[in-house]
Chains A and B, each alone.
Chain A
Amino acid sequence: MNYFIDIMLIAIGAALINNFIFYYFVGICPFIGVSRNVDMAFGMGCAVTFVMSIAAFVSWTITSLVLIPGAPISSYIGAFFMTAENAQKIDLTILSYIIYIFVIASSVQFVEMYVRKFFPSLYKSFGVFLPLITTNCAILFACLTIMSHVSGVENPADAWDLGRALSLAFFGGVGFTIAIVVMAGIREELDLCDIPKPFKGAAITLVVGGILAFAFMGFTGVNSGLRKALTFDEPAAQVEQDESAKDRGSQGRINEMPAELVAGEKVLKLNARTSVR
């Protein structure tokens, strides 16, 4: 039951609260470039979700089985060349970035071949955007988040298993799709408006995206509220303490906002306290 709640909280976190576009700013290039009409945006979102899930699956597997110290495959092979104890300490995480980008490029290649064979009209409508998914920050970001939860945790029991990793990747893609489809819907209307010439195109998209980011900021704190509501076996006081610590912005290692962003939230709280209302 706790596992299911955990998965659900990761899913809601990745899709809405820590939305990849409006909170982490990854995947901006397709957000601005592809969101012209709703059908194409939806197709792009589905493609990104698909590639993200595949890439997350493969990269989690490689990270857990080969890269981290004490991984089964690397320590097994290392045992042929050194003592078993030393082989447990082989740490290949320095290769993570290179391996992840290789995995992503291959995933995109496979998806491209699959789409070209089975959905040729879709392939033609995508054009050059399908190979461009390789340079989509969102996919590499999902892999890096998973890596930080697998190899960056101090306690090996806290390391994410495959279910959590796939949940983050899939629902991160869902959140990306939501954001890009909403933007496409707005842009279809925006095409009919009288926008000043310097702002046509990317500039007005960014401003509207800012207003959407305001809207998505309303989801802050939903995670800890849900966790409090759904966790039955913790005593209430302990949960209260945990959740106020979590609300300060550190839900996990990579979900921790950069220090300046946390400072921004402190400024918000400070203003709320000191302003005369």
Chain B
Amino acid sequence: MADQPTPLERFIQGILPENPVYRQLLGLCPTLAVTNSMKAAVTMAAAVAFVLLCANMVTSLIRNLLKPHLRIVVFTLTIATFVTIADRLLAAYMYQMSKTLGPYIPLIIVNCLIICRCEVCASKQPVFTAISDAAGQSLGYGLALASVAGVREILGTGMFFGFRVLPATWPDWAVMVLPPGAFITLGLLLGAVNWYSGRGAK
């Protein structure tokens, strides 16, 4: 098992080298949908982190009981349980934000990122490795969401987390908070990250 990454390596890998959005292209639906404002993006990242950590932990604990044919169904049902918990917690304690995020919280269930981490890492590794992998991936996911949301919110409304950062004379680029802006922002940022990663490889 010497070629398997250590837990610390997995944690660091998840942040940029194997960033879920920019390198693996997983979990793009929430990245485009909730990144109108930083607050929504950070809340979504926190929800995904909660679900990913809990699902990885549970999957790792039951990894020896999984039958090969049924494992995806078992992962999905576990994730659905934790997403229900997260959704109800959010609706109870942050009702306005829950309304803003709308249907995208339950859509965490089919977020490819979580199923992929369960399949690739948690179902084969002990608990601590799975937890550090989940922590790294969710940190990377949060960074990705925050980067897109930062660009969209600053250019689209001149605010950052609700605080005005651009002068009031800034003509808000309304397209940034609408669907086309989401696609174009993510596309350009993805190109930038590809360029940066490709530079080192030459």
Contacts and interface: CB of A to CB of B under 8 A. Distances in A.
Contacts of B180: 210-211, 213-214, 217
Question: Which of A26, A196, A254: most chain B Cβ within 10 A?
Answer: A26
Contacts of A162: none
A28 B32 contact: yes
A97 B174 contact: no
A273 to B, nearest CB: 13
Interface stretch (A58-66, A140-148, A170-178): A140-148
A251 interface: no
A260 to B, nearest CB: 4
Interface in B44-99: 72-73, 76-77, 80-81, 83-84, 87-88, 96, 99
Given A32-B28, A94-B84, A198-B198, A271 B192 contact: no
Interface stretch (B2-10, B107-115, B127-135, B138-146): B107-115
Contacts of A275: 171
Interface string A25-68: 11111001100000000000000000000000000000000000
Interface string B168-192: 0001101011111111101110111
A24 interface: yes
Contacts of B165: none
A179 to B, nearest CB: 12
Contacts of B81: 98
A58 B109 CA distance: 19
Contact of B110 (A140, A202, A258, A263): A140
Contacts of A197: 194-195, 198
A144 B194 CA distance: 35
B30 to A, nearest CB: 8
A105 B79 CA distance: 14
B34 interface: yes
Nearest to B114: A135
A105 B109 contact: no
B36 A264 contact: yes
Interface string A85-115: 0000000001001100110010000000000
Question: Which of A32, A136, A256, A258: most chain B Cβ within 10 A?
Answer: A258
B182 A210 contact: yes
A94 B92 CA distance: 14
Contact of B77 (A32, A101, A209, A210): A101
B110 to A, nearest CB: 5
A254 B106 CA distance: 13
A15 B106 CA distance: 22
B183 A210 contact: yes
A229 interface: no
A271 B188 contact: no
A252 to B, nearest CB: 12
A27 B81 CA distance: 22
A207 interface: yes
B177 A264 contact: yes
A176 B65 CA distance: 38
Question: Which of A135, A211, A217, A263: most chain B Cβ within 10 A?
Answer: A135
Contacts of A28: 28-29, 32
A214 B198 CA distance: 30
B156 interface: yes
Interface of B: 25-26, 28-29, 32-34, 36-37, 40, 72-73, 76-77, 80-81, 83-84, 87-88, 96, 99-103, 106-107, 109-112, 115, 156-157, 171-172, 174, 176-184, 186-188, 190-192, 194-195, 198
14 contacts: A25-B29, A26-B29, A28-B29, A29-B26, A102-B77, A136-B110, A199-B191, A207-B191, A211-B184, A214-B180, A254-B103, A258-B102, A264-B176, A268-B174
Smallest CB-CB A-B distances: 4 pairs: A206-B187, A210-B183, A264-B177, A260-B36
